[in-house]
Structure 1
Amino acid sequence: MYSRKAWGGEIDPFILTKFAKVEDDTAAQNNLVSLVIFEWGDESLIGRPVPGTDDELATICDPANIEANLCTQEELGAFILAENATEAAKSTILSKAVNLNDPAAINYPVKKTGFYCVSTFAYSGHDYQGVVEFRNSYGELPAAQIAKLPFYGALTIVYAVIGVFWAFLYVQNRHDILPVQNYITAILIFLVVEQAMTWGFYDYQNRHGMNAFAKVLMIIVAILNAGRNAFSFFLLLIVCMGYGVVKPTLGRTMLWVRLLAIAHFVFSVIYGIASLSITPESAGPLVLLVILPLAATLTAFYVWTLNSLNLTMKDLVERRQKTKAMMYRKLWWCILGSIIVIFGFFFINSFAFAGRSAINFVPDHWKTRWFVLDGWLNIVYLFDIAFVAYLWRPTANNRRFAMSDELAQDDDGFEIRSLANSLDEEGAIPLEENDYERHSLERELSPVPPKPVQPAPQQRESLDGETIFAVGEEDADKFSEDEDEDEDFRKSSEERRKLTGEPSL
């Protein structure tokens, strides 16, 4: 329970307890039910040690404990509190015996945030029924889930902002869009809708409680969550296969990837519905029929994705496609970082919780349990999808250059040789010893200076060096310059032949 100051609201939070009335001729004192309401931190203040014993604790006021001066006759049937309970308690401890012949509703006001408990005991030994309502000031959501309301609202805004930036780049470069960028566009739109629906479900439940329409919304959210997971695995797999950047099409492989995504979606929906309808007490061996198919498709996605990423990187490295290999290396580090964060988070939480007793786990972590189970996974997913969208963002000329190859080179330098040397090496006529001086003289008389070999044009990276899609335009007069150079070369060659006496071609 949260105090009114913690989350605000229109009413003061309270705990209301109401027992069902029992109609019989039994004496009133035989229809008593013991009731105590307290904050978990004050649990040690309930009960008193029995005199003459080592560790026996008296918790219910009965005639024997009255004789032992552990409680009074007016407290008969109620829980026994410690002598200093009033001063030492962090919150008020309510203890009383309720007469089921004429039970009145008991309202316990909550002044401080805490984990509050309601405990009852059948003092008379008869069956009884009762209802307990925990009412927070902000609405109907349980206190352990209220933090999800602003969390999913913030996620919706963040995904919407990412979608706006992506839409701006998409429209700006709409004539140069790759197929894989269309898939990223679809999943960003889907994520905004899915997060908005999740936020809407918690907001509706907070306003109206868990009624029939809220249950329908819960099923819709479960289906959307299953669709997000399947779509995300599908997108990551085709990206790791090099779709749109290394390969223009995946052929029949795309069909198998889609079938795997559809199977994962179906099994995720079945698992989501089963988790909502099956309680831990009623779960039996048949629950494996729900878990095993989902685990199989999830494992298939993981193995196929990592194997495809390794093969794509290996192919790019062998072809010396440095820019593209750099992109997939960054994606590999992103996936590895996500796995490390996930396992690291589990390890840290397991280590932190190992030293705590099981009975204290929920009372000590009820505020953060939602984040451990759900919140941090959504943050990791947000960073992953934002990173993939950044690397594969639409830019100018990305369609033209995405499928182009860099010039593979073994070293970073260029060999510069004269054209005359090249021509002499290509001549198949061996030199006689007495011809050595004549050829040396011819080279000295040659007026043509050595012409450096122009490096082959290479695919250029963008200004920020993050993606291969942002590539500048080629010079418009490239071919005209080449023609002028060829004409100068022919004139120089003709002059050289005249000086050396070689016949014209």
Structure 2
Amino acid sequence: MANLLLGFLVISFYLLGTLIHAADGSIHEYNNQGFTKIANARYFFGGSEGIYGSQFLDVHASSDTTPLKRNSFIRFDDITFVRTKESASKQNSTQVTAGLVEAILFEVKQQDRVGGSFFKTEDMCCTTKLADAGSCKLGEVMISADPNDPEWPKRIPTFFKRGEEEVKMSPEAVIIKKTGWYTVYFMTCDPELDGTTIRGRTVWKNRGGYLQGDKAPLMKFYASMLLAYVVLGLLWFPQVAQYWKDGIQLHSHISLVIAFTMGELAFLYFDFAYLDSAGTSPMEVTVWAITLSSMRKALSRLLLLVISSGYGIVRPTLGGITLRMLLIGVLCFVISESLGLARLYWKLALSS
């Protein structure tokens, strides 16, 4: 059983080292991924996160600082669109929107203003009928401006020149003024751009750091819990050491649960703190947090089982069920570890 557990751990860490090469967090990487057809458009999902509104909205910063350091923002870094040779040769230069790719940025409550929902149609791109009515421009994604904020939803256009197979989006940073959940899509209405791919990254930064807005409170929670367990450890461990001769094995098990919980919280806090400062999450720390969490869950469940069986209360030993209890503990660890690694890999697969 010990060899089985060791083998599982080795395989898990090896798979993570080979399969997970992108960092989770507020930096979304795009690695030559293609666009997906939706209605009469093609789109690529660029990411979605909660962002706190900027505290400072002074865009006239002095020379020794920049507005981005003072505000929440979404920045487009080295975004490059690549189309096929066949598409480049077919481009009709007489069309105003030929070779157009748009970055669409909107708040979640504005999602009905992107596409045809607002115009009572299932199409995403402007149709000839709507263009003739003056509702939108032919060849562009339909967007209805928010009356409370006419600049939103935002669109940032990028054009392929005639015969050009690759085009880079101009560097752009959008300052976020209002707290909300924001989404980025890359879309094109040009059917000749079928097969286009995207590479580059977007950087999403809150006013306090890179940590996502929905996760920011968790960092303080983990810090508070870690401090609470440190205080508990300072009270518990000296007592266990002082009266170790009079203690029972359950006291050792409780000490292990406290120690594993302290380690889990420390890794979780460090993971969040590093993500908040650097914008990426170190995978080694995340994996160790998952492993310590699995150990803690397995040991605490095992502890509950042995106490429920009467051990240390009405019976001095577990007798013939010792092996079964150990097998249950190992099984709990394997299931918890597998679930944690699967969730991590699935999350990374969705964000990459």
TM-score in same-fold range (> 0.5): yes
Q: How many residues align?
A: 270
State the distance in 1 between where 2:121 and 2:256 align: 66
Q: Which of these residues, 202, 207, 214, is aligned with residue 133 of structure 1?
A: 202
Aligned amino acid, residue 119 of structure 1: Y
Q: CA deviation at 1:188?
A: 1.3
- Could you report, residue by residue, the CA deviation over 1:36-62 in whole angstroms, capped at 9, with x for unpaired residues? 2211212344467999xxx44775345
Higher helix content, 1 or 2? 1
1:158 aligns with 2:224: no
How big is each residue's C-alpha offset from its partner over 1:225-281, in whole Å with a ceiling of 9 and x where there is no partner? 111111001111122222223222223333331232123223332333333335799
8 Å CA contact retained: 2:219, 2:269: yes
- Structure 2 residue aligned with 1:67: 132
Q: Is 2:139 aligned against 1:77?
A: yes
| Partner of residue 254, structure 1 | 322
Distance between the aligned counterparts of 2:343 and 2:115, measured in 1?
A: 39
Query: Does the alignment pair 1:193 with 2:259?
Result: no
Structure 1 residues 90 and 42, CA gap change in structure 2 (3 angstroms): farther
Mapping for residues 42-441 of structure 1, pairs under 5 Å: 42-46=110-114, 55-56=120-121, 60-61=125-126, 64-71=129-136, 75-82=137-144, 85=145, 87-89=147-149, 92-101=152-161, 103-125=169-191, 126-127=193-194, 128-130=196-198, 131=200, 133-137=202-206, 138-171=208-241, 173-210=243-280, 214-278=282-346
Task: Measure, in 2, the Cα distance between the counterparts of 1:169 and 1:252.
Answer: 31
What's the secondary structure of 1:88's corresponding residue? Answer: coil
CA distance, structure 1, for counterparts of residue 226 and residue 218 of structure 2: 12
C-alpha displacement of 1:161: 1.6
1:415-470 C-alpha deviation (Å, 9 max, x unpaired): xxxxxxxxxxxxxxxxxxxxxxxxxxxxxxxxxxxxxxxxxxxxxxxxxxxxxxxx
Which structure is larger by alpha-carbon Rg, 1 or 2?
Answer: 1
Q: Confirm or deny that 1:20 pairs with 2:81.
A: yes
**C-alpha deviations, 1:370-429, integer Å up to 9, x for none?**
xxxxxxxxxxxxxxxxxxxxxxxxxxxxxxxxxxxxxxxxxxxxxxxxxxxxxxxxxxxx
* One-letter amino acid of the counterpart of residue 182, structure 2: Y
Q: Match for residue 53 of structure 2?
A: 3
Find the residue that maps to 1:66 and give its secondary structure: helix
Distance 1:269 1:41, change over 3 A: closer
* Partners of 2:246 and 2:230 in 1: CA distance: 23
Whether the 8 Å CA contact 2:261–2:292 is kept in 1: the answer is no
CA change 1:151–1:215 in 2 (3 A) is same
CA displacement, residues 6-26 of structure 1 (integer Å, 9 cap, x when unaligned):
9xx944222234342658453
Change in CA separation of 1:276 and 1:48 when aligned onto 2, cut-off 3 Å: closer
What's 1:294 paired with?
none
When residues 3 and 50 of structure 1 are mapped into structure 2, their CA distance, relative to the original with a 3 A threshold, is: closer
Tell me, in whole angstroms, the C-alpha distance in 1 between the residues paired with 2:187 and 2:118.
19
Mapped to 1, the partners of 2:285 and 2:269 lie a distance apart of 11
Distance in 2 (CA, whole Å) between partners of 1:118 and 1:90 is 18
TM-score (normalizing by structure 2): 0.65
Q: Check the 8 A contact 1:94/1:108 in 2, yes or no.
A: no
- Pairwise CA distance, 1:69: 2.0
CA–CA distance in 2 between the matches of 1:91 and 1:176? 72
Structure 1 consecutive aligned stretches of length 4 or more whose deviation exceeds 6 Å: 48-51, 279-282
Code of the residue aligned with 1:106 in structure 2: it is E
> Secondary structure of the equivalent of 1:70?
coil
1:93-127 deviations in Å (ceiling 9; x for gaps): 21354213354233322111111122343221113
Q: Distance in 1 between matches of 2:235 and 2:118?
A: 71
Residue 183 of structure 1: CA displacement?
1.7
| Cα distance, 1:81–1:122 mapped onto 2, change above 3 Å | closer
> Structure 2: where are the runs of 5+ without partners?
1-50, 57-67, 162-166
Q: Residue 246 of structure 1: SS of its match in structure 2?
A: coil
Counterpart of 1:404 in structure 2 is: none
Please state which structure has a larger fraction of its residues in strand.
2
Cα drift, residue 181 of structure 1: 1.6
Relative to structure 1, the CA distance from residue 186 to residue 48 in structure 2 (aligned partners, 3 Å threshold; closer, same or farther) is closer
Q: In structure 2, do the counterparts of structure 1 residues 64 and 229 end up closer, same or farther at CA, with 3 Å as the change threshold? A: same
The answer to whether the 8 Å contact 2:260/2:296 transfers is yes
Whole-angstrom CA distance in 2 between matches of 1:264 and 1:37: 43
- Aligned equivalents of 2:348, 2:71: Cα separation in 1: 34
Quote the Cα distance in structure 1 between the aligned partners of 2:322 and 2:117: 72
TM superposition score normalised by structure 1: 0.47
Unaligned ranges ≥5, structure 1: 283-505
Distance 1:48 1:194 in 2: 47
**Residue 41 (1) aligns with residue 109 (2):** yes
Q: What secondary structure, in the 3-state scheme, does the structure 2 residue paired with 1:69 have?
A: coil
